């Protein structure tokens, strides 16, 4: 999150060439560490609430789990939800990414979820 000022300088440089009349708007944007963290938290909460609302509307749903080992030899478990609402609109979203320590037997995955 500490790259906010660098990003701001890049935005200002691009704005100077692309939309010079709007360049001052970019200089007024606050990209401090706290601001960026707060905005990320706000976006995260909005995504969670939107997903929660979609899941509540599901008529039927299923969960899928995919276990894989990352480059640092750590097991990662991805949890997906797939559902359909009464209008037959399908939704598939990633719910969580869980790090699994130790073995990845069925019981370990069950305990992680």
Q: Are 20 and 46 in contact (CB under 8 A)?
A: no
User: What predicted TM-score, i.e. pTM, was given to this entire model?
Assistant: 0.64
- pLDDT-derived band of residue 2, with 50, 70 and 90 as boundaries? low
pLDDT over 90 percentage in the chain: 44
Phi, psi of 82 (to 5 degrees): -130, 135
The pLDDT tens digits of the residues spanning 67-88 come to 998 888 889 999 999 999 999 9
In angstroms, how far is the first alpha carbon of the chain from the final one? 29
Q: What confidence score (pLDDT) does residue 1 get?
A: 44
Q: What confidence score (pLDDT) does residue 98 get?
A: 92
């Amino acid at each position: 999150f500490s790259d906010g000022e660098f990003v701001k300088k890049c935005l200002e440089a691009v704005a100077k060439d692309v939309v010079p009349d709007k360049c001052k708007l970019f200089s007024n944007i606050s990209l401090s560490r706290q601001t960026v963290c707060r905005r990320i938290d706000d976006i995260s909460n909005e995504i969670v609430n939107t997903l929660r609302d979609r899941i509540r509307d599901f008529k039927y749903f299923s969960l899928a789990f995919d276990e894989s080992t990352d480059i640092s030899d750590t097991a990662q478990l991805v949890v997906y939800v797939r559902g359909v609402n009464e209008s037959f609109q399908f939704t598939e979203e990633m719910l969580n990414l869980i790090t699994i320590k130790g073995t990845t037997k069925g019981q370990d995955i069950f305990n992680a979820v």
